[in-house]
Structure 1
Amino acid sequence: MKHLIALLLAGIATTALAGETTPTSQPTVEHYSYGTTLDIANVISMSSIPKVCEVVPAQMTYEDHQGQRHTVEYQVMGDGCSTH
């Protein structure tokens, strides 16, 4: 009987831990356009800019002043253009 109780408690603990390790959902990507007002309190991450000589999409994930997380996609010039 003790073994059955121990197995039952181990199963409950494993189920509880599995629920805690599920990844949080990513914020939906908002597309930036000229004039869009952004409330940026803290930048979480920015995508790297590829070494190409063309306009490419980039993303920034940030928190606003209410603590809500946002991801915005915008266009940037690649880092591969020669300045000679």
Structure 2
Amino acid sequence: MISKTAMAAGLFAALNICTFAARAEADVTPRTYTYGTPLDIRQVISMTQDDSVTCGIVDARMTYLDSTGATQVLDYRKFADGCNNDN
């Protein structure tokens, strides 16, 4: 019984963290990264990217906390994860 309760509590906590990150991201206007953009990243909350199975450039988004604890969202471009296996 205790293990089921502990697992349910852990699942509930994980779901709350995910919804907190989604709510925080919805309230913030994303900035687009350009070369030289100053970054103030204390803790990364989430990183997402467009789905791509091939190697190429994709759009990505990072949600993070800055040094004041405020949630920030940064859009940027990166090589897709499909490029990791190419030489």
Identity within the alignment, %: 39
SS in 2 for 1:43: strand
TM-score (norm 2): 0.61
What is residue 56 of structure 1 aligned with on the other side?
58
Alignment correspondent of 1:44: 45
Contact 2:49/2:58, CA 8 A, preserved across alignment = no
Most deviating of 24-33 and 53-62: 24-33
Please, which runs of 5 or more residues in structure 2 have no aligned partner?
A: 1-22
Alignment TM-score, normalising by the size of structure 1: 0.63
Higher helix share: 2
Runs of 5+ consecutive residues of structure 1 not aligned to the other structure? 1-22
- Aligned pairs, how many? 62
Q: Is the 8 A contact 2:54 2:82 kept in 1?
A: yes
Over the aligned positions, Cα root-mean-square deviation in angstroms equals 2.0
Report the Cα distance in structure 2 between the residues aligned to 1:33 and 1:63, rounded to whole angstroms.
19
